[in-house]
Structure 1
Amino acid sequence: MTEKDKATPSPYLSISSAGWVEFRNDQVVLSTCKMHVYKFPFDIQSCNLSFKSILHTDEDIQLHYQENNTLITRLSREVMHTQYEWLFINMIVTNKTNRLNFNQTSVVYTITMKRRSILYIVNFILPVLFFLCLDLASFLISDTGGEKLSFKVTVLLAVTVMQLILNDILPCSSNKVPLIAVYCIGIFALMLLSLLETILVMHLIEKDSAAQDNETSRDQSTDVNCGDKSNPHRNLEISDSHCASVCDAPAEEMQSVIKEGSRSKLTDVSFAVEKVSDEPGATEKPMNRLSSNRKEEMKSGYWTRVVKIINRAFLIFYVSAVTLFLGVMFIMWNSSEDDDG
């Protein structure tokens, strides 16, 4: 007993003509017992209440009890008008004799109770399962932005808060780790793997986009250099200035200008021949540039293809692991083993 009986003792006695004296006194007994919370909140507890004399032996006093356990269980249910967290299952009565220097018999009442689990299912187990479903649904979010990563971190923090709540409601009287703690840790580990996979995928996508940015900047610099090399307006200005100088020259200088013009025509013809001979090489350069650009595009899209393969493989693994884990937890919670060591 953990507290004294606060009930008022009965002042009545019953005396029979045969010499029997009967005294009844109802008591409210508050006691503690070891709890096995391995299957919390689906646990079934058994508590023992022992009654014996402290000084008297079996020769001095004999304890009589009702041996019909079914009758005792039925009478106990009739007395219990309200049941809160625990549901009464049955009561079993046994006797135990200690044989030391003298025989002393004790009567042991074994009370079996079952915890009401519906509140824990609704308030704890189902919310954690819903968070896991949200993490599964996050695979539909695009990997290019940061919304998927922030969403997964938020869900993971929510599961952490649920673990803190579990630490407050779970009794610390078990040698084994309770299954509900394994349930939370397993779901937390699966969601952590999902978060790490998202970080890896975003890193690969960022690596691919960086390669594409480098390729774009390289193409822009190439176009600027080509534009500086070929400027037709400068040639037009030179020719216009040449024509203007020829028209303004005096008559005695025309012959020398004509001679210079004929000499320049020969030079233009030679330049034209050289230009025609250089045209095959000039056409080969754009082809080489196109092939190099195509190789760069294939190279820049490599990590994107790797990301698609990783997402597909991890989704299959994730769904399989979640299904297997929940199935094992269901089997262990419904197993008949009650001893948690």
Structure 2
Amino acid sequence: MLLIINNTLPSTGRDIPLMGVFCCVIFCLIGISIVETILVNYLKVKGTKKRSAETTAGIIGQDGSARDQQNPPDSVRDQNEEQSYTLNLLNQILTEVQAASQRKQLSWTRVARITDVTFLVLYILTIIVFMSVLWKFWYDP
């Protein structure tokens, strides 16, 4: 790219033209942003799969069969058995909520958000530094 720009622009000296430096830096920033976008999307998809796997694990019973969360099974007709089923279900929900609140692991979606914000800050700093250096070379004789 630098050779094409160097041949296209009129030669004013032996240095690389500022337009060539500008294009190379912009192309590098675009490449880095594409890689960052792919990484953030991968982390978000991974977090979504993990969350859906946890939800599925909570719905499936201990015997491996799926339970109906809203209606108790047909075999439960007695009032005591129905209350026992409801209490058991509430107990299971409570233990899952307690286990989820005690986990201190970062979720993949949070890692993706942190990565995204970090790259945004680095992009802004890089552009500010690059434009100030380019401005200095442009107007400094």
**TM-score class normalised by the smaller sequence:** 0.5 to 0.7
Query: Which structure features the higher share of strand residues?
Result: 1
Query: Unaligned regions of 5+ residues in structure 1, if any?
Result: 1-159, 237-271, 337-341
Contact 2:43 2:112 (C-alpha < 8 Å) held by counterparts: yes
For 2:60, the aligned partner's letter is S
Q: Choose from 88, 91, 100 the match for 1:287.
A: 91
Q: Tell me if 1:193 matches 2:32.
A: yes
Describe how 1:52-131 pairs up with structure 2 within 5 A: none
Question: What does residue 311 of structure 1 align with?
Answer: 116
Q: Which has the larger radius of gyration?
A: 1
Q: Choose from 75, 88, 97 the match for 1:232.
A: 75
Count, aligned residues: 131
Identity %: 27
* Per-residue Cα deviation, 1:257-305 (whole angstroms, up to 9, x for no partner): xxxxxxxxxxxxxxx9xx8xxx6xx946742443325645878972222
Q: CA RMSD in A?
A: 3.9
Task: With a CA cutoff of 8 Å and minimum separation of 6, indicate the structure with the bigger relative contact order.
Answer: 2
Q: Tell me if 1:219 matches 2:58.
A: yes
Question: What does residue 19 of structure 2 align with?
Answer: 180
Deviation at 1:226, TM superposition (A): 4.3
* Per-residue Cα deviation, 1:16-49 (whole angstroms, up to 9, x for no partner): xxxxxxxxxxxxxxxxxxxxxxxxxxxxxxxxxx
Deviation at 1:180, TM superposition (A): 1.4
Counterpart Cα distance in 1 of 2:49 and 2:19: 45
For 1:187, the aligned partner's letter is I
Call closer, same or farther: CA 1:309–1:320 in 2, change over 3 Å. Answer: same
Structure 2 length normalisation: TM-score? 0.67
Query: Which structure features the higher share of helix residues?
Result: 2
Question: What does residue 204 of structure 1 align with?
Answer: 43
Structure 1 length normalisation: TM-score? 0.31
Query: Unaligned regions of 5+ residues in structure 2, if any?
Result: none
